[in-house]
Amino acid sequence: MKYILPLCLTTLLLASCTKDITVKLPETEAKVVVEGIIETDGPPLILLTRTQGFFDPTSIASIAAAYISEAEVTVNDGFNTYTLNKICSDDLINDSLLQIAAELTGIDAGLLAQANICAWTNLDGTLLGVEGRTYSLNVVTDGKTLTSKSTIPNGIALDSLWFKLAEQNPNDDSLGYIWNRLQDPDTLGNAYRWFYKRLNNGPDGRPKDSRFIAPFFSAFEDKYINGLEFDFAAQRGTAPFSDAVDDDNEERGYFKRNDTVAVKFASMGIAEYRFYNTFYTNASSQGDIFSNPANIVSNINGGLGIWAGLATRYDTVICVP
């Protein structure tokens, strides 16, 4: 008892000394965020948003309000300067056009239908991505001017692709990963990103994927693989806010026997890789108090985000072991 009593008194004393502490976070000016790409043989595509406070409400209205709808956006390809055309989801008159816009922008078709979201692109085919060419982006909006440059490198194709069962569970003869073989050039500084799109229909009769999806940590560099030939496995990612059955059961992360999968493999620069890598690190650590904080590395002057030139190569895999 003589030991228990002091312990109890100490516990009560410590409990009585607790105090609620209110931390007032400083207010910061909203910044413009750019999400822009230009791919081999494709037009540029630019989305503009504003940063939001950490504790700001999240709803369809607040998400829609974050998107910028008024801006002047130009791209210079080293020869000419092109003023990009603005397209807004309110201008899309039917579901098929919304679905096309969702595939191009990576924004859920349901959100496009509920909110007026604008993107900037080139509609007449006069500005298409050429490998080896540098593209300068200029954005004027909210009284700010943002600039960036990105070069589309010479693309590297995957040597071969195949489907292999994961064999994580006994008697599992249907779920697996897509494997890829890459021969990295012997010059240091190459970086890549991997996308996929399942073309076959799901149980609802619709294609399993409406667009190309880049799984988490699908971007990598050749720091440790320079000049080597190597094989790597790629798991299946999920579209944001997906409610698909196979994204919420034992099939999550796997491709399935008899899936027909289009694969897009993109070559990019190191600056672009650093953005995607730090973005994935930041997004994956949200809510984990033991993880290291990571600032996203942007290549946008005057704002945040990414302007990426991607050299793309395409292939198809039929998932048969």
Tens of each residue's pLDDT in the chain, 321 residues: 344 444 443 444 444 555 676 666 666 678 999 999 999 999 999 999 998 765 566 666 667 678 899 999 999 999 999 999 998 887 765 566 666 666 666 666 666 667 778 899 998 999 999 999 999 999 999 999 999 999 999 999 999 999 999 987 777 789 999 999 999 999 999 999 999 999 999 888 888 998 899 998 899 999 999 999 999 998 899 887 788 889 989 899 999 999 999 999 999 999 999 999 998 888 777 655 455 556 889 999 999 999 999 999 999 999 999
Answer yes or no: do 214 and 256 share one domain: yes
Q: Quick one: pLDDT at residue 29?
A: 78
Task: Give the list of residues 6+ apart from residue 238 with CB closer than 8 angstroms, or none.
Answer: 213, 244, 247, 252
| d(C-alpha 264, C-alpha 234), whole Å | 12
Q: Quick one: pLDDT at residue 274?
A: 95
Answer yes or no: do 208 and 123 share one domain: no
CA distances from 37 to 65, 263, 272 (A): 22, 18, 10
Q: Is 306 inside any structural domain?
A: no
Answer yes or no: do 38 and 145 share one domain: yes
Q: Please give the residue range of the domain that contains residue 183.
A: 160-273+312-318
Q: Is 37 inside any structural domain?
A: yes
Answer yes or no: do 169 and 247 share one domain: yes
Per DSSP, helices labelled H in the chain are 4-16, 60-66, 95-105, 109-114, 270-284
Answer yes or no: do 40 and 115 share one domain: yes
Answer yes or no: do 140 and 226 share one domain: no
Q: Quick one: pLDDT at residue 289?
A: 47
Task: Give the list of residues 6+ apart from residue 175 with CB closer than 8 angstroms, or none.
Answer: 165, 166, 168, 250, 251, 254, 255, 256, 257
Q: Quick one: pLDDT at residue 7?
A: 40
Q: Is 139 inside any structural domain?
A: yes
Answer yes or no: do 187 and 243 share one domain: yes
Q: Which of 83, 36, 95, 27 is nearest to 55 (CA)?
A: 27
Q: Is 137 inside any structural domain?
A: yes
Q: Is 300 inside any structural domain?
A: no
Contact 183, 229 (CB under 8 A): yes
Q: Quick one: pLDDT at residue 1?
A: 39
Q: Quick one: pLDDT at residue 216?
A: 87
Q: Is 180 inside any structural domain?
A: yes
Answer yes or no: do 108 and 132 share one domain: yes
Are β-strands 144-151 and 219-221 bridged in parallel, bridged antiparallel, or unpaired?
A: unpaired
Answer yes or no: do 164 and 267 share one domain: yes
What is the full DSSP assignment across 108-128?
A: -HHHHHHS--EEEE-SSSS--
CATH number for position 194: 2.60.40
- How many domains is the chain partitioned into structurally? 2
Which of 151, 185, 206 is where one domain is finished?
151
Q: Is 145 inside any structural domain?
A: yes
Which of 127, 151, 175 is where one domain is finished?
151
Strand, helix or coil for residue 155: coil
Are β-strands 72-76 and 45-50 bridged in parallel, bridged antiparallel, or unpaired?
A: unpaired
Q: Quick one: pLDDT at residue 143?
A: 93
| d(C-alpha 63, C-alpha 101), whole Å | 17
The secondary structure of residue 246, as a DSSP letter, is: G
Answer yes or no: do 123 and 164 share one domain: no
Contact 190, 156 (CB under 8 A): yes
Q: Is 304 inside any structural domain?
A: no
Strand, helix or coil for residue 100: helix
Joined together, the tokens standing for residue 180 give 């890829």
Contact 44, 37 (CB under 8 A): yes
Which of 151, 185, 219 is where one domain is finished?
151
Answer yes or no: do 140 and 246 share one domain: no
Answer yes or no: do 37 and 146 share one domain: yes
